[in-house]
Amino acid sequence: MDAKQLKEGIVAGRLPEQEIDQNFADLHPPLDPHEAMVEADRCYFCHDAPCMTACPTSIDIPMFIRQISTGNTLGSAKTIFDQNILGGMCARVCPTETLCEQVCVRETAEGKPVKIGQLQRYATDVAMNADKQFYERDASSGKKIAVVGSGPAGLACAHRLSKHGHDVTIYETREKPGGLNEFGIAAYKAVDNFAQSEVDYVTAIGGISVENGKAMGKDFSLAQLTEQFDAVFLAMGLAGVNALGDADAEASGSEDAVNWIANLRQAKDLAKVPIGKRVVVIGGGMTAIDAATQSKALGADEVTIAYRGPRERMKASAYEQELAKIRGVTIRYNMTPKQTVTNNGQVVGIEFDREGEHIALEAEQVMKAIGQTLQVSQLEAGASLALSGGRIKTDTEGKTSLSGVWAGGDCTDQGDDLTVTAVAQGRDAAESINKYLTGGDT
């Protein structure tokens, strides 16, 4: 065992910088033009297109693949962007294995679907790298809309509203826009600062201003927005973090996985990011997978995901679970956390109950990835916003119980923690807001 593996505690430099760079390289390297043409030729261009039905944004998948196969890559990108202006990021992070590719006829017949996600990335990358803008703003409407949150839902809503000629101001709590795409996903899924490149591409349509470091409930109120703007779209995501209860501990090494991933994404030098020798991640969703896999990529010797339910209830897809295992992560099921063990203010382990069996795991770091909640403090009590299941209640168009206020993404009861769903909700809410502002819907 070499020196790096003997390091105790939470330290940086467990792996050489070159090895860390390799571990955080692009998860799915992009297709080259020849590979894209070969893959596009595998599509049957089904008339009933089950892949299109499975896509939350209803992209015309057979059409955009046919356009690639005929050499019309920019036309393909436009077909994608017509439905999903964040098609580039969705191509990178969508669980295509449980959406469009799962229902692909090739998957049904051969167990090898058309690589829809990679083809989508190929087309959108070509357009974005060429800075090809497909949309112009309609004549100015003189209407102003406030969008709270610059994640997928907020950006999609802002772009579609701007296209209709409305002026949009986005208020973002953090120091830079992007939301979940910038702060909440594994670094190897969106390399080369892609999230910010996409923000620049989306806002290049014009008519969209972004004010960073502005939080609702602190710097302004919902009531102020409804007074100053013609409509409001809430897309602030879920900033609250669920607690472990008795298993929580105020100690060094006890981490919120969401914040840990956000800090990792903003790190200038990954080789300087400290990580424990042994890491336990509690949870069963994508945040747990991303935290665990990146912990291993930084050089942790042992990384365990502990999920309280059985394998079949784990929210992360089978593909993502397998990816984590391939990269050296152990996943244990039916693990109910009971107590975080500390010594002199430092985490040294965590204890679980597993169907009546007591299990103790040594760890310098314990990361919580057990879901997030809406920070209700952002919404003043007098706003009359109805909640459902702890999130903002909306109808299928994103309308809330408050006139002139819409919402979309994870902060709503319609959200499902998928980037592509948030995009669809932002887009659809924009159309509803446009009808409202132009007298088509009162």
- pLDDT value for 90: 98
Note whether 80 and 64 are within 8 A (CB). yes
- pLDDT value for 8: 76
**Whether the model pTM is above 0.85:** yes
Q: How many CB atoms lie within 10 A of CB 433?
A: 29
Question: What pLDDT, in 10s, does the model give residues 397-407?
Answer: 999 999 999 99
Same topology between domain 144-239+374-437 and domain 241-371 = yes
- pLDDT value for 259: 94
- pLDDT value for 419: 95
- pLDDT value for 383: 60
Task: Give DSSP secondary structure letters for 222-271.
Answer: HHHHHHHSSEEEE-----EE---GGG---SBTEEEHHHHHHHHHT-S-GG
Q: Which tokens hold the place of 108?
A: 């049904």
What kind of fold does domain 33-129 have according to CATH? Fumarate Reductase Iron-sulfur Protein; Chain B, domain 2 (1.10.1060)
Task: Give DSSP secondary structure letters for 350-385.
Answer: EEEEETTEEEEEE-SEEEE-S-EE--GGGS-GGG--
Q: What would the CATH number be for the domain defined by 241-371?
A: 3.50.50.60
Q: Can you give the residue ranges of every domain in the chain?
A: 33-129, 144-239+374-437, 241-371
- pLDDT value for 371: 86
The owner of tokens 């997928």 is 152
- pLDDT value for 3: 42
- pLDDT value for 374: 85
- Looking at the domain covering 144-239+374-437, what would its CATH class be? alpha beta
Q: Considering only CA atoms, which of 385, 110, 367, 373 is closest in space to residue 263?
A: 367
When computed from its CA atoms, the radius of gyration of the chain, rounded to whole angstroms, is: 23
Task: Give DSSP secondary structure letters for 49-84.
Answer: -HHHHH-TT---HHHHHHHHHTT-HHHHHHHHHHH-
**Which DSSP letter does residue 93 get?**
H
**Which DSSP letter does residue 137 get?**
P
- pLDDT value for 7: 67
Could you state, in chain order, the average pLDDT of each consecutive group of 10 residues for the chain (442 residues)? 58 95 94 98 94 96 98 98 98 94 94 97 98 96 98 98 98 96 94 97 98 94 95 92 76 93 95 96 96 98 97 92 96 96 95 96 95 79 78 95 96 92 98 93 54
- pLDDT value for 245: 75
CA–CA dist 262, 155 (Å, integer): 19
